[in-house]
Amino acid sequence: MCPDLFDDLPRDELEPLADGAVVLRGYARERAAQLLLDVAAVSAQAPFRHLITPGGKRMSVAMSNCGPLGWVSDTRGYRYDACDPLSQQPWPALPASFAQLATDAAQRAGYASLHPDACLVNRYAPGARLTLHQDRDERDVRAPIVSVSLGLPATFVFGGFTRSGPSRRVRLTHGDVVVWGGASRLAYHGVLPLAEGEHPATGAFRYNLTFRKVF
Ligand code: MD3
Ligand code: FE
């Protein structure tokens, strides 16, 4: 017998969060080790970097991408690009473990198919945060976004359709997956500054994968 440390944590539950948004608690937990190996492989090819916002600020979250398109920001603006501006090479291919997870999670949440053409990989160190924003650089906002949290826990802030409206806070921990579709797709959201900590799988980091259909 090999008792699993996480046997007492919820798994495979659908937790409605908002219109069109659902949390799959722990959905990626059993796949996390492979996902993290693939994060390492992706970032060996396309290293994590702190992008500059159009306003000239260095983002506290470090980012990389894989798949046909990658999200980039610089003083010229935000956009999706087929090439990594650091290497001028195409982004690394979407690892099989990533593609499978995105499809499975979308299906579990009720989306018959999801064929993401971009995967943004965010890396948070303690103190890193994401201010309230909308994801609207994707042409196809009917497709859901699938997000996977790995490592240190974070507090996710989920607002409405205006920046100043009411917001809810949701704790996202290792292996949690959220599928954002329908009305929630264009909602404002952000991540509070990451607390210090040490996670057995990721050390002092939190990783977040977001799968997007851009075209
Ligand atoms: C709700 N990432 O990369 S994931 C982002 O934890 C981003 O790194 C956060 O926001 C992170 O753009 C949050 C959850 C998420 C991602 C995309 C969304 C929530 C969303 C798009 C629309 C609505
Ligand atoms: Fe976002």
H or E segment at 7?
none
Domain encompassing residue 133? 13-30+95-212
Question: Does any domain span residue 107?
Answer: yes
Q: Which of 149, 189, 213 to mutate to test the pocket of ligand 1 (most atoms within 8 A of CB)?
A: 189
The model carries a pTM of 0.94
CA atoms of 34 and 32, how far apart (whole Å): 5
Ligand number nearest to the C-alpha of 118:
1
CB neighbourhood size of 141 (10 A): 16
Residues with CB under 5 A from ligand 2 (ion): 135
Domain count along the chain: 1
- Please list the pLDDT of the chain residue by residue as tens digits (215 residues): 556 666 665 557 899 998 999 999 999 999 999 999 999 999 999 999 999 999 999 999 999 999 999 999 999 999 999 999 999 999 999 999 999 999 999 999 999 989 999 999 999 999 999 999 999 999 988 899 999 999 999 999 999 888 888 999 999 999 999 999 999 999 999 999 999 999 999 999 999 999 999 99
CATH code (residue 172): 2.60.120.590
Question: Does any domain span residue 187?
Answer: yes
